[in-house]
Structure 1
């Protein structure tokens, strides 16, 4: 009996040594969770056994339990590296269409040949689908899918609308709109430009010229004339030219109400301000250019949508006695964009930025947690699978509820404390030696018994 007790002690000490050695071997493994060998004593039970005289039968390994406390985070230069600060696991799949899910804390992700995010083992990072605003449309493991990083931002979109917000200098000089010439800066007060796009994504420059008429100001009202050009070519309005009242007699009152804004082949619009410099109205009320690819303009290249026209909205412009200043320029067209950056937020939202200035939400990193983490089944590559002991996986978004937040450009290091492991190694070695000594003494006693005559 004592031989078996000593042998169980040696086996337990060996198990402890193996567990400690494995912890030490993985001290630099990203996302690794240290293990602890847990032992239980062995006693034979019977209804006729006397508890006062029972001698134990040795030791048994009850469990090698992994410890899932947080490891320290190390910063990296890779935006696709991720670490979970708090509870939760990344969800991975072995194939694009596979639902054989694994769970890991190692966030060393990269882009494979198919532009999917994968880990070092080639498993796909699973994510929740999102809408164009970045809101998750489903938070369920059954709807998770691998995330693909597109290298282009879709098809180009032609510009339909341009927004301008600015201040026109009330102290500037006055000019004759009929003498306007875009090649002569002395014939206009100011100008501003914005890049627009045709239906093929080709960029063009829309320039707006501002002229303060020498007869367009009178009691309580001031007018400005705006002319438009694309790539330096004059662009008329889609309808009639704007009109403004004039003070031709100099008495401070408008004595003519229908002066059309024309200059050579140019038709312009009119902006009207009150005596406090606030915007009152425009004429036409909706400023839309003529069709850019046909007719008189014809400023777009072959193969484009020739019916394209630009609606120009002046967003609360002002006329103050301060320098000309453009505070906002916007347009709704895009060209084909090339991928320039990928960012991952604390909530797991993956955004792709492109060279055309667009930012597209792609997906949200899926996290999972378990009622009993120590019940997970180890499958290698710092991954686990759900089991009966762990319970079913509960899915959720990062930085919400009991789920931790995601740190981009960071990795969770192994939670192994090397100093503690070295002490445990010495302790396990002493236990092994002591049990070996017990086995040696038992052998000596048996030899003594056998030598009795």
Structure 2
């Protein structure tokens, strides 16, 4: 029994090492959120067992939780590099599949058709506004800057204000508000499904997304010309790495000791 108990410990230690290694590998990944592993004990007993004789038979991985604490902000100077100074996620839609993704990575640019996109081509979503800049609908839409305005003047630049207003400036000096950056919130963010590229998708655990504009409710303001960096603390992860290594070594030693005991019993002579 001790072999299997320690074997569970070895597998759990290997999983913990994998989680820590992934955190360290993404210490410089923009918008990355670190993970933490939680263990649960396993016991051998039934409802009729004497509670004073119930013994543990190892542990199991209970969950791998994501930590959505804010990471440090780095200034880049690029107008379409965005960071959220608070809670929420940027919302993106794939023009190919129509799937919706959520991210804290605000590294955006503009494609040839004027859409504001990430490096994969997913389109940033904004909330539509009226002529006075008031949000008219809670349903997000693609952020797109027309190449020319009604007077035929060419697009010069697109900037984003602290309240999420996306402003397109044209050669004739006119400006047009394209909408306000749509921020998504969830009842349970740790329930979001990681799909890579610092993107998440909603699940039944996270609940559906509810949308708002920067500065409203619990949403923070928008920082233009900045990017949120990974929230991985390298010193903390290194301490966890040492602890996980000792955990692995201790379980390996327990297996070695059990092997020696078994060998001693087998070698007994009558």
Per the normalisation by structure 1, the TM-score is 0.58
Partner in structure 1 of residue 116 of structure 2: 117
SS at match of 2:222: strand
Q: Does the 8 Å contact 2:45/2:54 carry over to 1?
A: no
Written as runs of structure 1 = structure 2, the 5 A alignment for 1:164-203 is none
Partner in structure 1 of residue 2 of structure 2: 2
Q: Does the 8 Å contact 1:96/1:124 carry over to 2?
A: no
Q: Distance in 2 between matches of 1:96 and 1:82?
A: 24
Q: 1:99-153 CA distances to partner (integer Å, 9 max, x unpaired)?
A: x2111100000112322111122211111111222221102xxx32111122222
Q: Distance in 1 between matches of 2:221 and 2:97?
A: 27
> By how many angstroms is 1:87 displaced?
0.6
**Are residues 1:144 and 2:140 paired?**
yes
Q: Distance in 2 between matches of 1:112 and 1:138?
A: 25
Partner in structure 1 of residue 266 of structure 2: 450
Partner in structure 1 of residue 49 of structure 2: 49
Structure 2 residue ranges without an equivalent (≥5): none
Q: Distance in 2 between matches of 1:419 and 1:110?
A: 33
SS at match of 1:58: strand
How many residues align? The count is 269
* Match 1:363 to one of 179, 192, 198: 179
After superposition, the CA RMSD in angstroms is 1.3
Change (3 A) 1:87 1:382: same
Q: Distance in 2 between matches of 1:120 and 1:342?
A: 17
> By how many angstroms is 1:97 displaced?
8.3
Q: Does the 8 Å contact 2:45/2:55 carry over to 1?
A: no
Q: Distance in 1 between matches of 2:243 and 2:252?
A: 14
> By how many angstroms is 1:395 displaced?
1.1
Q: Distance in 2 between matches of 1:45 and 1:400?
A: 53
Partner in structure 2 of residue 338 of structure 1: 154
Written as runs of structure 1 = structure 2, the 5 A alignment for 1:316-335 is none
Q: Distance in 1 between matches of 2:32 and 2:256?
A: 39
Q: Distance in 1 between matches of 2:207 and 2:123?
A: 23
* Match 2:202 to one of 386, 389, 392: 386
Q: 1:188-243 CA distances to partner (integer Å, 9 max, x unpaired)?
A: xxxxxxxxxxxxxxxxxxxxxxxxxxxxxxxxxxxxxxxxxxxxxxxxxxxxxxxx
Written as runs of structure 1 = structure 2, the 5 A alignment for 1:236-275 is none
Structure 1 residue ranges, 4+ long, deviating more than 6 angstroms after superposition: none
Q: Distance in 1 between matches of 2:97 and 2:35?
A: 33
**Are residues 1:426 and 2:239 paired?**
no
> By how many angstroms is 1:346 displaced?
1.3
Structure 1 residue ranges without an equivalent (≥5): 157-335
Q: Distance in 2 between matches of 1:96 and 1:344?
A: 26
Change (3 A) 1:96 1:13: closer
Per the normalisation by structure 2, the TM-score is 0.96
Q: 1:251-290 CA distances to partner (integer Å, 9 max, x unpaired)?
A: xxxxxxxxxxxxxxxxxxxxxxxxxxxxxxxxxxxxxxxx
**Are residues 1:441 and 2:257 paired?**
yes
Q: Does the 8 Å contact 1:127/1:366 carry over to 2?
A: yes
> By how many angstroms is 1:377 displaced?
0.9
Partner in structure 2 of residue 94 of structure 1: 94
SS at match of 2:182: strand
